[in-house]
């Protein structure tokens, strides 16, 4: 079945559908990872986005129930060069095409993904539409132009949990992970679109994690008297999540705080900084980040389209700890007086580099 991708600037790409049929709107972005397509599709940070994979062959190891990063796919659509006809892996339970159809996600293959990626790098990530039912370029371009963008849009409310839950009872049990006999630290994780592997990593370093909705009040979090507070990743424009920013301000200095990705951006805003949209974002498993204190360089996994403006932070209060070596953007910070730190990248990424897993231990040490 033929399928079209239309961008708001009038560019059209053609392909063949291999997932669900229909039509989806979203911001078209690219990811440079060679593996991890299931983790990417199920990462809530991709809500509102149509993801194009730069690696040419996708789907070769299939899909299984254990590698999901959330309850199901959160992407709006999936674009690849070639869908593997064979899913060969002892853990594989179904093909990529089956998975997309079951979850009503449009997948498009036979796309010139090199051309699409170069276009996004040159012009920037932009609104787009993918369709298997409307193949009229003019109609599709108009729909893309008229669609809502990500700036000013709160997508956290669409992916956060509806009620509080214990990570131990949901993640570890369902995924049959072993239990660690450590003295547990009580952690409240604010869910702005949290990934399962973040919860695993926190538990693996001895945290008893309770996950709360992203709009939970600071007074209710502090009433639980946690040892620490975690601010999760998530989708969309951080400046639009005003309710979370206001509550994070009330938590500063009260308990140790660790933030990742959107949690890092929300923390930056709570500290008086500003955020801005990157031209085409950072998405992939190969981004070099430098620790400004040690000079060590980590290869990191990333997924974000917004960034904290390092020049907007009060550097008498906030120390910049990490920068991205590709474009010198801010990748990490810590407060000089309060036990608070955050990173823009994903130390929990799996599959992906494990260079930054030590950050979870650092959080535990801060709580101690």
Which of the residues are catalytic?
A: 261, 346, 348
Other CB atoms within 10 Å distance of the CB of residue 47: 21
Contact call for residues 273 and 266 (beta carbons, < 8 A): no
Q: Look up tokens 């020049």; give the residue.
A: 311
Token pair of 144 as six digits:
């893309």
Residues 308 and 327: their CA atoms lie apart, in Å, by: 13
Burial of 190 (0-12, 13-18, 19+ CB in 10 A): buried
Closest CA to 126 of 257, 235, 280, 271: 280
- Strands 185-191, 228-231: parallel, antiparallel or unpaired by DSSP? parallel
The CA distances from residue 9 to 84, 93, 126, 140, 281, in Å, are 31, 39, 8, 11, 18
Residues 332 and 308: their CA atoms lie apart, in Å, by: 9
- Strands 23-31, 49-53: parallel, antiparallel or unpaired by DSSP? parallel
Q: Where are the beta strands (DSSP E) in 104-203?
A: 106-109, 126-131, 165-166, 185-191
Collapsed DSSP state (helix, strand, coil) of residue 306: strand
Question: Measured in Å, how far apart are the chain's first and last C-alpha atoms?
Answer: 58
Contact call for residues 39 and 53 (beta carbons, < 8 A): no
Residues 78 and 28: their CA atoms lie apart, in Å, by: 10
């Amino acid at each position: 079945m033929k399928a079209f991708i239309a961008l708001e600037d009038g560019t059209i790409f053609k392909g063949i559908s291999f997932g669900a049929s229909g039509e989806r709107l979203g911001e078209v972005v690219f990811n440079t990872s060679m593996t991890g397509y299931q983790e990417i599709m199920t990462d809530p940070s991709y809500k509102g986005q149509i993801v194009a994979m730069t690696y040419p062959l996708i789907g070769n190891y299939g899909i299984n129930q254990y590698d999901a990063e959330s309850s199901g796919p959160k992407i709006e659509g999936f674009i690849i060069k070639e869908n593997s006809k064979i899913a060969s892996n002892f853990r594989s339970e179904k093909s990529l095409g089956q998975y997309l159809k079951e979850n009503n996600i449009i997948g498009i293959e036979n796309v010139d993904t090199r051309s699409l990626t170069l276009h996004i790098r040159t012009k920037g990530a932009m609104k787009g539409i993918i369709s298997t039912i409307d193949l009229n370029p003019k109609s599709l371009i108009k729909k893309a132009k008229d669609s809502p963008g990500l700036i000013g849009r709160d997508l956290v409310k669409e992916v956060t949990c509806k009620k509080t839950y214990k990570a131990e009872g949901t993640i570890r049990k369902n995924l049959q992970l072993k239990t660690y006999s450590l003295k547990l630290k009580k952690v409240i994780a604010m869910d702005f679109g949290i990934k399962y592997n973040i919860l695993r990593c926190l538990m693996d370093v001895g945290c008893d994690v309770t996950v709360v909705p992203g709009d939970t009040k600071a007074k209710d979090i502090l009433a639980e008297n946690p040892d620490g507070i975690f601010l999760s990743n998530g989708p969309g424009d951080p400046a639009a999540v005003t309710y979370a920013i206001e509550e994070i301000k009330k938590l500063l200095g009260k308990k140790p705080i660790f933030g990742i990705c959107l949690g890092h951006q929300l923390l930056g805003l709570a500290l008086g900084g500003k955020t801005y949209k990157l031209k085409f974002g950072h998405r992939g498993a190969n981004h070099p980040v430098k620790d400004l204190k040690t000079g060590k360089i980590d290869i990191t996994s990333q997924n974000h389209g917004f960034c904290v403006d390092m020049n907007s932070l009060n550097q008498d209060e906030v120390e910049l700890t990490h920068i991205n070596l590709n474009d010198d953007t801010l990748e990490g910070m810590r407060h000089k007086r309060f036990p608070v730190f955050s990173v823009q990248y994903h130390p929990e990424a799996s599959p992906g580099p494990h260079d930054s897993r030590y950050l979870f231990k650092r959080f535990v040490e801060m709580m101690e």
